[in-house]
């Protein structure tokens, strides 16, 4: 409670406006927090799913590579794969969730096979290349999800701090100031009313005495 606030109606109106603004801010921030938490939990579920998919894709790619080695021999595979000219392109864009910038990662590959002479090679080589490309695409999306989760978690913490500050400090303080100021105004008005009654009573007595003296 701030007792330095003059108990005037203009100050009371200002305090009520500030309280209404703080309540509105609290409501909006609470809604923002809820939306961010829902989005965060959704992305966490997706990240868990994509982590499993990445692990499976990497295991599949590794198994495919081992299969190529078994079919062609380690030396032949070592000579074949450096001739692969496929290049990757990572396109990073953004989307916004309640003002929070979240990345979007899209990985594409250019350069289609055959990258080498089919003589002395097997289809396992093409399968290995395809498996690793799929794993890289999944890893790009997993990185997108993890960065988004970190940014959303940071924004959720900020929103929680702001909501708590409004809920536990700002709003109670304003409510107390409104109550105090309104009470002081009522007290001053009551004292003024009593004083006016006393003055009127004194004037009535004086007028009554004057009339008696005139008679």
- Percentage of the chain beyond pLDDT 90 is 51
For position 103, which CATH number holds? 1.10.287.3240
Residue pLDDT, tens place only, 159-187: 999 999 999 999 999 999 999 888 888 88
Spatial separation of the C-alpha atoms in residues 34 and 28, rounded to whole Å: 10
The residue with greater pLDDT, 73 or 1, is: 73
Largest Cα–Cα separation, the chain: 142
CB environment 22-35: b (16+ within 10 A), e (fewer): bbeebeebbebbee
Is 193 among the domain residues? no
Q: Name the H helices within 73-170.
A: 74-80, 123-165
Q: Which domain holds residue 135?
A: 10-175
Is 200 among the domain residues? no
Is 99 among the domain residues? yes
Is 214 among the domain residues? no
> What is the number of residues in the chain?
215
The half-sphere exposure of 86 on its side-chain side, counting CA atoms within 13 A, is: 18
How many domains does the chain divide into? 1
Task: Name the DSSP letter for residue 23.
Answer: H
Is 209 among the domain residues? no
User: What value does the mean pLDDT of the chain take?
Assistant: 85
On the question of pLDDT at 149 being above 70, the answer is: yes
Spatial separation of the C-alpha atoms in residues 128 and 89, rounded to whole Å: 19
Is 194 among the domain residues? no
CA-closest candidate to residue 156, choices 93, 105, 94, 97: 97
pLDDT given at position 135: 93
SS3 state of residue 109: strand
Is 47 among the domain residues? yes
The half-sphere exposure of 21 on its side-chain side, counting CA atoms within 13 A, is: 7
pTM: 0.74
CA-closest candidate to residue 125, choices 56, 61, 55: 61
The number of helix segments (H) and strand segments (E) in the chain equals 4, 2
Is 206 among the domain residues? no
CB environment 148-160: b (16+ within 10 A), e (fewer): bbebbeebbeebe
Span 114-131, average pLDDT: 69
On the question of pLDDT at 199 being above 90, the answer is: no
CA-closest candidate to residue 158, choices 7, 51, 40, 19: 40
pLDDT given at position 2: 54
On the question of pLDDT at 54 being above 60, the answer is: yes
SS3 state of residue 87: strand
Residue pLDDT, tens place only, 71-110: 888 887 777 767 666 677 888 899 999 999 999 999 888 7
Spatial separation of the C-alpha atoms in residues 50 and 192, rounded to whole Å: 74
Q: Confidence class of residue 130 from pLDDT cuts 50, 70 and 90?
A: confident
On the question of pLDDT at 122 being above 70, the answer is: no
């Amino acid at each position: 409670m701030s007792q330095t606030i003059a108990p005037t109606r203009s100050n009371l109106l200002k305090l009520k406006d500030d309280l209404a603004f703080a309540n509105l801010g609290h409501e909006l921030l609470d809604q923002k927090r809820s939306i961010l938490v829902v989005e965060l939990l959704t992305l966490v579920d997706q990240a868990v799913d994509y982590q499993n998919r990445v692990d499976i894709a990497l295991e599949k790619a590794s198994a495919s590579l081992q299969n190529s080695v078994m079919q062609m021999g380690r030396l032949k595979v070592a000579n074949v794969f450096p001739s692969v000219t496929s290049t990757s392109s990572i396109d990073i864009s953004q989307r916004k969730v309640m003002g929070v910038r979240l990345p979007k990662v899209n990985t594409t590959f250019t350069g289609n096979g055959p990258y080498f002479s089919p003589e002395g090679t097997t289809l396992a080589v093409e399968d290995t290349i395809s498996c690793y490309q799929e794993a890289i695409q999944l890893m790009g999306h997993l990185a997108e999800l993890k960065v988004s989760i970190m940014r959303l978690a940071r924004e959720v913490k900020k929103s929680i701090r702001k909501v708590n500050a409004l809920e536990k400090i700002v709003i109670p303080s304003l409510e107390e100031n409104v109550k105090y100021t309104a009470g002081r105004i009522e007290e001053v008005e009551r004292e003024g009313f009593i004083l006016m009654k006393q003055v009127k009573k004194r004037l009535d007595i004086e007028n009554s005495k004057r009339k008696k003296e005139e008679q």
